[in-house]
Structure 1
C-alpha cells in the first residue's frame, strides 16, 4: 500500500493542463473533470501529455535508455553518460535512477487512465454515445500499451519463461496494491484491454475519413479535436497494430499475422508511403520521421529540446548519442541511397563533430509543417515486418520486405535464404531512436548482439541482460 500512496502523491503533483491542476477534494473527478465535454477532452489530453515526458516515451523508452540497451550508440568510453546502461549494469545508480523513473511514471499514467475510465463510466450522459465510446477506446488502448511496455522491459524473456512472475496489472482506481502476475496473465490482460479498445473504437472516424491530420498552428474548436489528427491519438488502427505487436511477442503467430495484414489491407490508403521529395526536395523542412506512415504517435512539443540535449553537434562527446560510423555503414549495408540513412545521419558543418550525428528529431525551419513535433510509437512498416515474419509462404514474405525496401529507395531482393535475418536488418535500419530493436532481440532471445562500438566484442545476452530488475521501491514492501 505504501507504494500506491506514493504513486497517488506523485499523481497529484504532476501538472497536465486543467486535469491535474484542480484541487484534491471529495468526488473531485466527478464534479470537475467530468462535468463537460471540454474538461473530459482536457483530461485525456493530460494523459497523452504525460506520455511525452523524458522519463518514458519522450526519452527513455524511445530515444535513449532502451536504445542504449539495444547497442544503438557509441558509448564504450567509461566516462560516457550512457556507458553503464549500455553495459547492462542495472545495479549502478545511473541505471537505478533511469529505470525507476520509467516504472514510476508509467504507473502514474496508468492510474490517471484508470481514474479517467472510472470517471467516464460514473458520469453517463456527459458525452454522446459515439464520443464516449471513442474516449473509452483510447483509454483502454493506452492502458494496454503502457502495461505491455513495462512487461517488455521488466518482465522475463517470454519465449523462455512465460510463467515467471513479472509486473502488476492495474485495471481499476481502487488504490489497492495489485500482485505481481505471471507474464502470461499480464499478456492476457493486455490483449483483453485491446479487445475492449477495438470494440469501443469500431466507429472511429479514422476508418472512413483517415487521420485528418493538421498542423499545430491551426486554430480549431476544442471539441473538434476529437476527430482531427487521429494518428496522434490511440485510434482503431492503433488497436489492431498493437494487437499484432503483442501477439507476435506472445508467440501467437496466426493472430499476429491476421492483425498485421488487416492494418496493411485496410489502412494503407490512410498511411501512404512518404514521398522522396518530402524528405529531400524540401531541404530546409525534411520529413525525417516519415510522418505519413505513423499509425500511432505523440505530439511531443519537447522533441526538439530532446534533440538538442542528446543528439546535436553541440553536445559534448561523453554525452552525445550517436552511432559508431563503421557500425552505421554496416547496418545500412554500405548503401547511401537508403532514405533512412542519408536523411537522418549527416556530418555537421563548421567542424562541429568529425562524425555523423543523428537528425531524426531535429527541428525544421517552417513551423507550419504538419509533421512538426510528431513522434512515432507505431509505424506502418512494422506491420510489414510482422506479416513477413509470420507468413508461411517465403515468396509472399519477401514481397512484404521488398515493399518497404522499395519505399526506402532500395531495390527488391530477388531471393532471401533467411527471411528472419532480412527482418533483423530492417529493424536495425528502420527504428533508430524509437526503442524497438532491444525488444526485438529480447523477444527472440538472441544470444549475442553486436556492440554499439566497433572493435568491441559482441555482448553475450541472457536474462541478466534482458530483464531489468524491478525497482526496490516496488519489491521491498512486498516482502
Structure 2
C-alpha cells in the first residue's frame, strides 16, 4: 500500500471512530424527556413522566442542592472546607459561583420536561392511553412543575415563568421575570389543576391527589393562607393511609411518607455519599447531634445522628445509596397544621399543641405543656421542626419564611434571604435583573 493510500485509510478510520464515538455519547438514557416528536403513545408518555420524576430525584434534589440548603440552615457542616462552602455558611454568595448556575439549570430542565408532557400528552391518540391514565400523567406533570417552580422561587426569588416547552435558547430570551408572589400563584394554579386530574390513591413515590393537596398546604403557609392550609391538611390526614408510626423510623414506604423519591442501583441516591462514605461531605454539628440524642428532645430520632468509633458524627438519613429521598412526610403535615392553627385569624392553640405532641409522642419525647401562649407554641414548632427535619433541607427555608433568620442565624440583611441570579444567565439574557444586594451581575 502506497503512502497516499495509507494516509487515506488512516483518515477514514479516524473519521469512523469519531462518528461512532459521537453516536455513543449521544445515546439518551431511557428515562430522559422525549421531545415533541417522541411523545406519541402510551409508552412514550409514561417514559416522559418517569423522566420528569428523575429530574426531581437527580437534578432538583441532587446532593449539591441539599448540601447548600443544609449548610445555610446552620446545623450541618461541610467537611470539604472549600471556598464555596465558606461563601454559603458566611451568607456571602456571589453570582459567579458555579453551583448556582447548576441549580438554576436543573430546576428549569425539570420544568421543561413537565412542560413537554403538559403540551403533548393531550394530543396522543393511542387507544392504550385511557382518559383516566392521561389525566393522571398530566396531573403528575403539573405537580412536578409546581414543586420545581416553588423551590426555584424560594431559592432565587423573582424568576421567569415558562409554561410551554423550550427547544432552543432563543425561546427563553427576553422573558420578563415574575415576582416571587406571582410564581407562587402559578404554583397554586398548577396544584389546583393537579388535584382535579390525579387519582385518590396512595402511592408513596408518585403524585396523587393527596400529594397535590399536601403540597398546596405547604404553599399556603408561604402565602399566609392559614385557614386554607389547615383545611387541606385535614383532608389528607383524614385518610388512614397517612399517619404517624411509633417508634420513629425512616419513613420510606410507610404511612409517614406522602411523597418520596425513588432510587435504584442504576440511579443511585447521590446524597448517600454526602453522609456515609469515608469521603463524606456533610456532618451534623455537635449542637444538632446533642439535640437528637437528648431523650427529652430527639428521643427515637437519635438514629439520625450517631457517633462512630472515631468520635465523628454520622448522619443516618440515607442508610444505602438506593434509600428514598423525602419531599413530604406526614410529620410535616402535623407541624404545618400546628403553625396554621396558631396563625389563623382565630387561633387554635390547643389544636396546635396537640399536633406538636403527636409528633413528639411518636418520637418517645415528653409532651409540651398545654398552657403555652402563642409565641411559646410558635417557638415549640420551630424547635420541633429543627429536630424532625434535621437532615432534610428545611431549616433555612423555615427561618427565612417565619422571619426568624435574624434572631437565629444573626442574618439581618434581607437581600441574603434569596440567592443571586447566576451571572452566566444574565450575560446570556441581559433582560434578567439581578437580585438586590448582588451588584449588576
Alignment of 1:147 onto 2:132: no
Note the 1:141-290 alignment, pairs <5 A: 141-155=143-157, 166-173=158-165, 176-177=171-172, 178-201=175-198, 204-206=199-201, 211=202, 230-265=203-238, 267=239, 269-276=240-247, 279=249, 287=250
Mark the CA change 1:329 to 1:185 in structure 2 (over 3 Å): closer, same or farther: same
Counterpart of 2:353? 398
CA offset at residue 167 of structure 1?
0.6
TM-score by length of 2: 0.81
Counterpart of 2:61? 57
TM-score by length of 1: 0.75
- Distance of 1:428 and 1:243 partners within structure 2: 22
For 1:41-79, what per-residue CA distance to the aligned partner results, in whole angstroms no more than 9, with x for missing partners? 1111111112222x52132343x1111111121349955
Q: 2:320 aligns with which of 322, 338, 363?
A: 363
Alignment of 1:407 onto 2:362: yes
Q: 1:34 aligns with which of 25, 34, 40?
A: 40
Counterpart of 2:282? 321
CA offset at residue 120 of structure 1?
0.6
Q: State the structure with more CA Rg.
A: 2
- Distance of 1:73 and 1:106 partners within structure 2: 24
CA offset at residue 290 of structure 1?
7.8
CA offset at residue 321 of structure 1?
1.1
Any conservation in 2 of the 1:47–1:112 contact (CA below 8 Å)?
Answer: yes
For 1:64-96, what per-residue CA distance to the aligned partner results, in whole angstroms no more than 9, with x for missing partners? 111111112134995576232121221176xx2
- Distance of 1:109 and 1:292 partners within structure 2: 27
Counterpart of 1:66? 69
For 1:298-324, what per-residue CA distance to the aligned partner results, in whole angstroms no more than 9, with x for missing partners? 10235555322x212622xxx631122
Partner SS state of residue 60, structure 2: coil
- Distance of 1:61 and 1:447 partners within structure 2: 20
Partner SS state of residue 419, structure 2: coil
Q: What is the total number of aligned residue pairs between the two structures?
A: 390
Partner SS state of residue 261, structure 2: strand
Any conservation in 2 of the 1:325–1:355 contact (CA below 8 Å)?
Answer: no
- Distance of 2:31 and 2:227 partners within structure 1: 44
- Distance of 1:337 and 1:74 partners within structure 2: 19
Alignment of 1:473 onto 2:424: yes
Alignment of 1:45 onto 2:28: no
Mark the CA change 1:15 to 1:332 in structure 2 (over 3 Å): closer, same or farther: farther
- Distance of 1:443 and 1:336 partners within structure 2: 23
Q: 2:137 aligns with which of 110, 113, 135?
A: 135
- Distance of 1:79 and 1:19 partners within structure 2: 32
Alignment of 1:347 onto 2:307: yes
- Distance of 1:105 and 1:441 partners within structure 2: 24
Any conservation in 2 of the 1:16–1:46 contact (CA below 8 Å)?
Answer: no
Counterpart of 2:415? 464
Unaligned 5+ segments in structure 2 are 1-24, 342-346, 432-441
CA offset at residue 419 of structure 1?
0.9
Counterpart of 2:4? none
Partner SS state of residue 328, structure 2: strand
Partner SS state of residue 234, structure 1: coil
- Distance of 2:223 and 2:87 partners within structure 1: 30
Note the 1:78-117 alignment, pairs <5 A: 82-91=85-94, 96-117=97-118
- Distance of 2:389 and 2:318 partners within structure 1: 13
